[in-house]
Amino acid sequence: MVNLVSRQPDYSDLDLDFIAHPTTKDVVKKTGVDAIKRSVRNLILTNFYDRPFRSYIGSGAQKLLFENASPLVANFLRDAITEVLTNYEPRISVKAIQINFDPDNNGYNAVIAFSIVNNNLPVVINLFLERLR
């Protein structure tokens, strides 16, 4: 009888900080969970019409940050983040999104909990959403 071993996909992405590798002087790659975290962060922070030829991808979160702070705006942010992640990040399953207004720093703390589809590890991302100056 043959034992089948399932192979976990290896996700990779460029590190957008563009830090040079100390040995090869090439751009460092993000792999695995870090690559998915970077993708989630990029989707949330992308505005509509930011990507040429794919203007429909975006969350619209930056636009909502210019509204007066209220629980309603926090709900709109949660809905926008849920929609963009559900539509454009098929590698994850969103478990919970918590949005809290931080009046001292004039922004929103976003806690996004999700799991990777083929790997039931829980992953949590903390983002601080604030207006661009």
Looking at residue 30, what is its pLDDT?
79
Q: Which pLDDT band, with edges at 50, 70 and 90, does 2 fall under?
A: low
pTM for the complete prediction?
0.82
Q: In terms of residue numbers, what domain contains 92?
A: 12-130
Helix (H, G, I), strand (E, B) or coil at 40: helix
31: CATH: 3.10.450.40
Q: What is the pLDDT averaged over residues 77-84?
A: 95
The per-residue pLDDT for range 18-43, each reduced to its tens digit, is 778 788 878 877 778 888 999 899 99
**Residues 18/56/114/35 CA torsion (nearest 10 deg):** -20
Residue 2 within any structural domain of the chain: no
Q: How many independent structural domains does the chain possess?
A: 1
Q: Which pLDDT band, with edges at 50, 70 and 90, does 9 fall under?
A: low
pLDDT reading at 111 higher than 70: yes
Residue 70 within any structural domain of the chain: yes
Residue 50's CB: how many other CB atoms inside 10 A?
13
Biggest distance spanned by C-alpha atoms of the chain:
65
